[in-house]
Amino acid sequence: MNPTGPSPAVRRWMPLVLLAVIAGGCDSRQQVDTQAQALRKVVDGRGVGPAMGDDPVPSAREAQALWIARRAIARMKFLTDSVSAKYGIDINQPPAAFNEQEYYATAARHPEVRRYFASYAQYAADVRRNAFPWLRERMREDAARTRLGGDFERGLARGFDRKVPDFQRSMETAEASAKEIVALHDYLVSIGPRVHWSGGRVLFDRNDELDRASEMDRHARAGFQEAAEFAQRSEQQGRLDLQQLTTEITSH
């Protein structure tokens, strides 16, 4: 067994899968540059801006497009932090014991591992079910506050909707993997008297129990790896979309 923690990093990568490419002619260079800079800061995690409070709509059409994108990303960052706090977890930081070999022989001493992943499964299910309808409605409201028009709103909605199914499947995978780790924890506790930590190694009295625990562990971690790989692809694509968005708009 080679323990490594799950790496969903949702606060960083989930907003990036929502970026849509929006371009047009330039009305006001200063407004566009200001909104482009603010958008980059949000994507880089250097601030979320006033998306949940006073945030005046810029008058330039292209700045309005950037304004909508920034607010959508900031809201998603706010949402994922809020939902994880609701379940009392840091989605980027599983319990330290989970990443130690000794855990497999001492699972009964670490109920925090079970609590964490049970809560993580609830978190993933909550985001998968509720995040996107809420965010889509907020984006629709923001678009309605601008003068970008119905074609823009429809295009924005289509771009958003294309990205949602893959992300929901990724969250479903993460949810299932978290539940598998809960099951692994329970199994390790049940066989605890026959698993030992000795000389820096985990020793199983029975090979069949070693095989079962190893397979459960492998399958659960593979699911988190799949989610992490999706995260990496989404982040790369999101940054490309952002670069195209800001380049096309600010070059006019």
Instruction: Give the model confidence (pLDDT) of 178-203 as tens digits.
Output: 999 999 999 999 999 999 999 999 99
Q: DSSP letter at 16? A: G
- Residue 196: strand pairing partners: 203
DSSP SS3 for 195: strand
Gap between the Cα atoms of 76 and 103, Å rounded = 34
- Report the amino acid identity of residue 38: A
Q: What is the pLDDT of residues 95-113, one digit of tens each?
A: 999 989 999 999 999 999 9
Q: How confident is the model at residue 149 (pLDDT cuts 50, 70, 90)?
A: confident
pTM over 0.85: no
- CB burial of residue 147 (10 Å; 0-12, 13-18, 19+): exposed
